[in-house]
Chain A
Amino acid sequence: MIAGIVMLAGLLSDADSSARTLAALVLRLVAVTAAITVLIGILNLLGVHLGRFTHAQRGWPYSIVTLFVAVGVVVLRILDRAEIWSGDLEGEQLSPRVFEAVQVSIESALAALVVFFLVFAAYRLMRRSVSVWNVLFTAAVVVALVGWLPLQELDALGDVREWLVRVPVSAGARGILLGVGLGTVTVGVRVLLGQDRSLRD
């Protein structure tokens, strides 16, 4: 609550005021605390998996992989900072490559799978119950998809899609944003008054 009051006072103050400076200090402390928290989390992760490996618990091979990858990324990052690479790798950063090759590829593949699940879910949407709202929802989805298609025969649907995006969807999005804004203010006041705890990280 005290931090919230400090930050609120800093936001309402001028840029060169002490309140703003104090708010910036608190903000940096938060960043340092978050960094320390990340470090503690990493150490805890290593400890847990090391324990599972030493005790030969079930799934210990996965723990080995986790430990190896964690240590490897840290070591690779240290080597990148040391610029020890030579030859073709001279001046290269291997850690961003590893990150892109592993993290981005995996997450992109998982995101691509969503297409299949979404299509199948829409296909079975009215299998259990047929209602007006289900029909309306399914029709909107079909119109949005077909209207996106770069087909001249479907320009009419493109216009419909454009209308849908600009009018009803935009209206709904604005309403949601307004609700989010009001909710944020309410939660902020409650946190400042000590009536609630901030559950956000």
Chain B
Amino acid sequence: MPDDRNFLDDDRLPPDGEQNQDRRAEQRPPWEARSGEPPPEPQDVAPTPAPWDLHPGDAEPPRPEPESLDALRQEAGGWETWNLTDDEAPGTPSDEAEEPADAAAAEPDADDLAWMRSFGAAADTDEPVPTEEDDLAWLGSVEPGQEPPHGDTPAAPRKVDAAELPWLDDEVFHRVPTIEPDEELLLSPEDRRAETPPDEPDEPIADWLSEPFDEDAGAAEEVPAESPPHIRSVTSRLRPPEAEPPAEEQPPAWLSDADDALGAVEAEQPEALTFDEWERQQAEREREARKTPEERLLEGVPEWLERLGDQDEPPAEPPAEKEAEPDFMPGWFLGLEEQPTEDAPDWFDKLDFSGDPLAAPPEPPAEPAPSNADEEDAPDWLKGVGALGADELPEPDLEMFGLEAAPSPRQEAPVEETAARPEVDEPEGDFVERFEPIAPDEFAVGDEIPDWLLDLEREEALEPAAAPTSAAPEQAPAEDSLDWLDELSPDDVAAEELFEAVFGGELPPAEQPPAEEEAGLAESELEQLLDSYEAPPRAPEAPFTETEEWADEAAFAAALDQALPAEEEPDLDAFFPEIAPGQPVPGLERLFDEEKPSAGQTETAAAAETPEWVADLRPADLPVTVRAGGVELDVPQTPVIELPPRVHALRDKALRELEEAPAPPPPAEAGALAGLATVLGRFDTALPAAEPTGPLSGAVVTREQQTRVQKLQALMATAEEPGEAPAEEEALEALAAPGLAARRARRARRFKPDRVLIALLLLAALVAPFATDALHVAESPPPLSAAGEDTAAELDALAPGAYVLVAFEYGPTAAGELDSLVEAVLRDAFVQGAIPLAISTDIAGALHAETVLGGLAGDEALLAARSEEDAPASLQAGRDYTLLSYLPGDALGVRTLTETYGEAGAIHPAFATDLRGENTGLPIHAVADDLALVIVAGEDTDDVRTWAEQLRSLDVPKVALVSAGLEPMITPYLYDEGYAGYLAGVRDAYSYNLARNANARSIYTLPDDLGFDLPNPEDARWHSMALGAAAAAGLITLGMVLNLLRALVRRPS
């Protein structure tokens, strides 16, 4: 499950193990075969949050189906090693392939690290062979939290996570080659077993903690007897950790939880890799997976060590020894030894441990050691190795270097122990705790000790006794000479590689507190180490130091004990105080931010973690996460230098204002905080005061808009319910415009006597002539005007039986004025014997024409004047006159009258039917030929104009009968092709009747039995009109005068 990134995030995708279950069924490790949580793998700790990394099974290109088990192993990559050790017997070809690897690694490199060989030669006689436990003293430098001191679970090397370096760009970070479960970073099973606390833990040890050791013990029995123990130890250390079978049982729960949390964090942080980078990573991983163990070994073993092993070591150990002694060379050491000395950093060169009392024992110049010449070639940090003389202190395990270390007489015990180790069951627990200082006499040189080791012991014995001076000065060099190694941890190696990959240079030496390693030491050893520990001189180039506060050993030990109890499993929950079990860690930043090594040092550590030079390297393209109101938003950064000038000025101003101490707010005048100032902080200035409002949903409507909506709704209600709306409308109007509504209300109630007075006066002037003759002040109607005379002339020209087209282009509204005029002209036309043909482009006009003609049809005076008969018949429609149908099309319809249709005998369509739809039978084919006169009676200018314009080319006389108001508008059409004349209004009607129809119309007389004398209505109407006009003119003039005077009075002086 550790390689399954989706076990918590995506349920849709099966775990990688299940995706390739069929193919890898045989390759699955034991812990994956059973339910539960398998032990985490080191590579899983490293952040690979890219999507294709999250699903490597999906992202990787399809591979050819493996043909054999070996091919499966090749494909399995990291699993091949355990498969070899578990399933294959020793001596398989794959295991034997390590031999040529060792041979290939034995190529000499005279230029490189020759001093190391001399060191081995120098130590041939005097230098004690360091015990195996001593070489693991470097574990004391493991940082707390990096490598928990627990048992058999493969220790996950602390990888540099992107979350730990937020200033690093993800892209840059992932360009760093992914640190695979480097074999050199892992402890050997032996060491792991040594790290197991000897005491019985509180919780029962899981079965998986005890099972693997049985297999190891059985495998150890398979070690050939001819292999010396120390050789087996060396060769076993040279084996990569893949040779060691992984833990068959599940790892501790706390480790799984931590891995789950880290996996969740990685899942939340998608990697920003380009496809090319990802492809390169995949290719590199594939190459890494296809590497044979030999290649891996060649990569892990430095050349100098390979050469030494080739020169001094017997042939390679059989593979079975790997199972018996699965130790290996620490990766951090291998990595360092690969570096040439001339490339060592300056601070390293400047270090001089020779002057340090703890670095090397004071050697008497009179008795130089035989190996001095050789030691001079060695680096300074190794000069004190041969001076180790403390019997009770663990010595560095020089055996792991494969050197022909010369054991000193005082260092025989480690050699003895080394020789006797295979026969002794290793106790479970920490390797330091099971280490007991062995007296020199307890050391026994076995037969298996090679010659070079015996020589080393002899050199130790010949060396001047520097130890007798004091125990402390002698043990100090051994400790101090490896102090720099203690300061290096696997993380440092990884960090150095990371730093080189990122910055192309060497990582400045950073002093790490050796908390983790010391936590695993025994109490006595720990105290001795701490007593003899002195802070090494800090390199001046070191850009930052994180552990200045930890220089004090007591404080360091206290912090160490507080952080990681040595006897108990580390409680990683302490690192996640806000995270419940099972809950993913929100971010590694938070994890490390909240990790407090000691109280009161958080700020110092934080400041030291981000020095200025690191801040300068911070990329500007990392987004800034802004959290507000539960919403997170990634805002891309903009470098300050790229800001616009205005924004830059605003930023400076804001910074200045923030830096300035705000003026203390005045104390509250009332309330619970009365008299207190600066209690509530600056929240009032940071956040604008806002009225508490509910959540906004939908459109926001202002009060003004609400008022408008209500007003519109009231208007609509008024339209539908007129009886109820006015009150509401008035109320709304009063609300919207109080002044206007009030004025309207006053105006509605205001009584206007002048209006009533004017109306009454005008009404009296119009009615009074009908009541009395006293008001008949007007003279008789004037004679016809010139236009009227022309009109009469046209009527006089009508022959009997001639068709006269009369256009009734007026409606009922103008009927009171025009009917009398039309009747006067028609009466004259009937007297002339003409046949009027009523037509109209207006339906109302056509209908009204029937009424006008119908009224003349029974007029006895007209009939008597028209016929000389005693009893003339009334006028009949269709014979004496014709009511033509409605003429549609307005102007176009009128224009059709000028046209001829069909043959000569055909009836013009406009004359074909009458108003009832019946055929007229009128013999009218062409208007110009068959019509004698066209009379247009209209109340509108358009009507009169249309007929005049459309019939302009028609050679038929035309006269117009218009209202008095239209008289000025008809004058423009009085020309040859237009109207021959016109009559306007009631006055012309009176004049025309008086002049032309005196015998053709009967005068209305009042009944004799009325009882009172009334004026003639016909004369009264005339005088009424005259008096009304005079009254109107008088009223208008009165108003004008009054208003003028009023204006003059109101005119400011």
Contact = CB atoms under 8 A, between A and B. Distances in A.
Given A104-B815, A110-B813, A150-B780, A127 B1039 contact: yes
Interface string A92-134: 0100110110011111101110011011101111110110000
Given A81-B916, A123-B1036, A127-B1043, A104 B971 contact: no
Contacts of B1040: 122-123, 125-126, 135, 138-139, 142
A92 to B, nearest CB: 9
B693 to A, nearest CB: 41
Contact of A96 (B759, B813, B854, B1035): B854
Contacts of A170: 968, 971-972
B310 to A, nearest CB: 101
A125 B763 CA distance: 20
Interface of B is mostly: helix
A192 B541 CA distance: 92
B229 interface: no
Interface string B678-708: 0000000000000000000000000000000
The CB with the most chain B CB atoms within 10 A, among A96, A129, A170, A174, is that of A96
A120 B1028 CA distance: 13
A27 B892 contact: yes
B762 A119 contact: yes
Contacts of B720: 58
Contact of A120 (B759, B812, B888, B892): B759
Given A31-B889, A148-B1029, A149-B1029, A120 B815 contact: no
B754 interface: yes
A145 interface: yes
A154 to B, nearest CB: 9
Contacts of B916: 81
Contacts of A43: none
Interface string B1010-1053: 00000000000000001011101101111110011011000000
A77 to B, nearest CB: 10
A125 B1033 contact: no
A187 interface: no
A161 B443 CA distance: 154
A141 B1036 contact: yes
A146 interface: yes
A114 to B, nearest CB: 9
Given A58-B722, A123-B1039, A165-B968, A27 B893 contact: yes
A104 to B, nearest CB: 4
The CB with the most chain B CB atoms within 10 A, among A108, A112, A119, A165, is that of A119
Interface size class of B (residues with CB under 8 A): 35 or more
Interface string B130-145: 0000000000000000
Contacts of A115: 762, 766, 1028, 1032
B847 interface: yes
B812 A126 contact: no
Contacts of A97: 851
A155 B607 CA distance: 115
B778 A116 contact: no
B1033 A145 contact: yes
B850 interface: yes
A149 B1032 contact: no
A111 B816 contact: yes
A194 B1039 CA distance: 51
B750 interface: no
B50 to A, nearest CB: 63
B900 interface: yes
B25 interface: no
A103 B811 CA distance: 9
Contacts of B721: 58
A58 B1047 CA distance: 48
Contact of B1038 (A31, A106, A123, A177): A123
B540 to A, nearest CB: 89
A130 B1043 CA distance: 7
A74 interface: no
Interface in B813-871: 813-816, 844, 847-848, 850-851, 854
B232 interface: no
Contact of A119 (B778, B780, B1032): B1032
Interface size class of A (residues with CB under 8 A): 35 or more
B723 interface: yes
Contact of B1036 (A27, A99, A145): A145
B755 interface: yes
A126 B854 contact: no
A8 to B, nearest CB: 11
A6 B1000 CA distance: 49
A136 to B, nearest CB: 11
A65 interface: no
A156 interface: no
Contacts of B854: 93, 96
A86 interface: no
Contact of B895 (A11, A34, A129): A11
B779 interface: yes
Contacts of B759: 116, 120
A165 to B, nearest CB: 5
Contact of A30 (B813, B816, B889, B1032): B889
B698 to A, nearest CB: 34
A53 B517 CA distance: 102
Given A20-B899, A30-B889, A165-B967, A100 B1026 contact: no
Contact of B851 (A96, A110, A142, A173): A96
Interface in A147-191: 148-152, 165-166, 169-170, 173-174, 177
Given A27-B888, A58-B721, A127-B1043, A150 B1026 contact: yes
Given A20-B899, A81-B916, A149-B778, A126 B850 contact: no
B889 A173 contact: no
Contact of A7 (B722, B758, B892, B1033): B892
A76 interface: no
A46 interface: no
Contacts of A130: 1043-1044, 1047
A24 interface: yes
Nearest to B1022: A150
Contacts of A152: 779
A192 to B, nearest CB: 15
Contacts of B945: 177
Contacts of B762: 115-116, 119
Nearest to A144: B1033
A177 B848 contact: no
Interface string A31-45: 100100000000000
Contacts of A141: 1033, 1036
Contacts of A12: none
Interface in B907-963: 916, 941, 945
Nearest to B1040: A138
Given A15-B899, A138-B1036, A126 B1044 contact: yes
Contacts of B758: 116, 119-120, 123
A177 B972 contact: yes
Nearest to A24: B896
Nearest to B1041: A126
B782 interface: yes
6 contacts: A7-B892, A15-B900, A96-B847, A111-B814, A126-B1040, A145-B1032
Interface of A: 7, 11, 15, 20, 23-24, 27-28, 30-31, 34, 58-59, 81, 93, 96-97, 99-100, 103-108, 110-112, 115-116, 118-120, 122-127, 129-130, 135, 138-139, 141-142, 145-146, 148-152, 165-166, 169-170, 173-174, 177
> 3 closest pairs, A vs B, by CB?
A123-B1039, A126-B1043, A104-B812
Given A15-B901, A124-B754, 18 more contacts: A27-B892, A31-B888, A58-B720, A93-B850, A96-B847, A99-B847, A99-B848, A104-B812, A104-B816, A119-B762, A126-B1047, A127-B1039, A142-B1040, A148-B964, A149-B778, A150-B780, A150-B781, A177-B945
